[in-house]
Amino acid sequence: MIGRNKFQYRIATGRITLPAAILLAVIVCLINTKQLTDGITLGVCAVMAYMLIEMNTAFALIRTRTAFPPAMFMLFFAACPFLYSFSTQTWVPLLFLAAIYSLFQSYESRYASTTIFHAFLCMSIGSLFMPHIMYFIPLFYILMGSLRSFNWRTFFAGLMGLCVPYLMLLCYHLYITHTPEVTYAPLVEVIHFMPVDYSALTLSQIISWATITVITAVSSTQSLTHTYQDKVQTRILLRSLIAIGGGILLLTVLQPQHLNALLPILLITGSITSGHLLALTFNRFTRIFLPVVLSLWGLLFLFNLWTHLFNS
């Protein structure tokens, strides 16, 4: 089937895919950049793309050499200029990806307590910037059961990872600023669920969110139907990643004000599942799906660029 899917094969497994994506991402960033701090956001995006490469290398999520996931992540990230605005929440996707990486390392590991501690530590630090990330703690514990790493040691290791940043903040505010009540502010925000309000979202954000959601949903569904040839570990990790992506989508629907922080995490799921699908499956559907994805990216880029320049 590769004979009819030569274009797909060259894009999904070619060595030039990632360098071309990096070049396009840098050009788009230079066009859309308004402040010097936007360069920090591009740096965070580059680190996340590198971590996607490391994830595929460490866990063999895709059983062939491919740079499509980080390339797709950088392209769609670059096509969304509203993601460039630097804020404290810019660090949330990076910390969340680090948490997923550590969580996957716990699969049937003798040292699962250490990796689980690191995973929950990253989640806890991320909650200082966006408290609603704490909603994923129960999901992580559930996924630990699927990853065969849940026991009383890892349970308490996760709790310790959650508590360490807050204990350090408590000590700081208690002895330096003498305002210990500030430490509990993020936890209070988690309890008070904000009303669902889409009025703050721009048309550019809504269209970008819809595009990435459709691509992620289609690639995740199709990828699941073709995992029977993968190892058991790969199937479990991919299903766990898709479950996390579903949770991210649900949280985005319920708390759209956090779209800028949650959309890159959803894009992680879409990048890996689409890479798994397009690098390993060559049929009539994928022959159509890849041009559709590239066309959606082009249209999204042109629309967001026009909106960005028109509103400048």
Lowest mean pLDDT among 273-277, 286-290, 304-308: 304-308
pTM of structure: 0.93
Element (H, E) at 45: helix 38-59
**pLDDT grade for 2, boundaries at 50, 70 and 90:** low
Instruction: Mention every residue, 6+ apart, whose C-beta is less than 8 A from residue 194.
Output: 255, 257
Rounded Cα distance, 180 and 184, in Å: 8
Task: Give the least confident one: 75-84, 90-99, 128-137, 151-160.
Answer: 75-84
Average pLDDT in the 265-277 region? Answer: 93
Q: Would the pLDDT of 95 be above 90?
A: yes
Q: Cα angle vertex 126, ends 174, 43, to 5°?
A: 120
What is the structure's pLDDT at 36? Answer: 72
State the pLDDT confidence band at 33, using cuts at 50, 70 and 90: low
Contact 294, 12 (CB under 8 A): no
Helix (H), strand (E), coil (C) string for 50-104: HHHHHHHHHHCCCCCCCCHHHHHHHHHHHCCHHHHCCCHHHHHHHHHHHHHHHHH
On the question of pLDDT at 3 being above 80, the answer is no
- Give CA–CA dist 71/62, Å, rounded: 15
Whether 279 contacts 12, CB under 8 Å? yes
* Confidence label for 223 from pLDDT (cuts 50, 70 and 90): confident
